[in-house]
Amino acid sequence: MATSEVQTVHTGADKAKLAAAIVLLLGSFVAFYLLSSRGALAQWAVLIVGIAAAVVVFGVSESGKQLVAFGRDSWREVKKVVWPARKEAIQMTAYVFAFVLVMSLFLWLTDKTVEWLFYDLILGWRK
pLDDT digits over 33-82, tens only? 999 999 999 999 999 999 999 999 999 999 999 999 999 999 999 999 99
Helix %, strand %, coil % for the chain, to 5? 80, 0, 20
Q: How far is CA 20 from the centre of its chain?
A: 26
HSE, CB side, 13 Å, CA atoms: give it for residue 91.
5
Q: What integer pLDDT is reported at residue 22 of this predicted model?
A: 95
Secondary structure (3-state) at 87 = helix
Distance CA 55, CA 100 (A): 46
Distances (CA, A) of 84 to 51, 55, 75, 87, 91: 39, 36, 18, 8, 10
Q: What integer pLDDT is reported at residue 78 of this predicted model?
A: 94
pLDDT digits (tens, 9 = 90+) for 81-118: 998 999 999 999 999 999 999 999 999 999 999 999 98
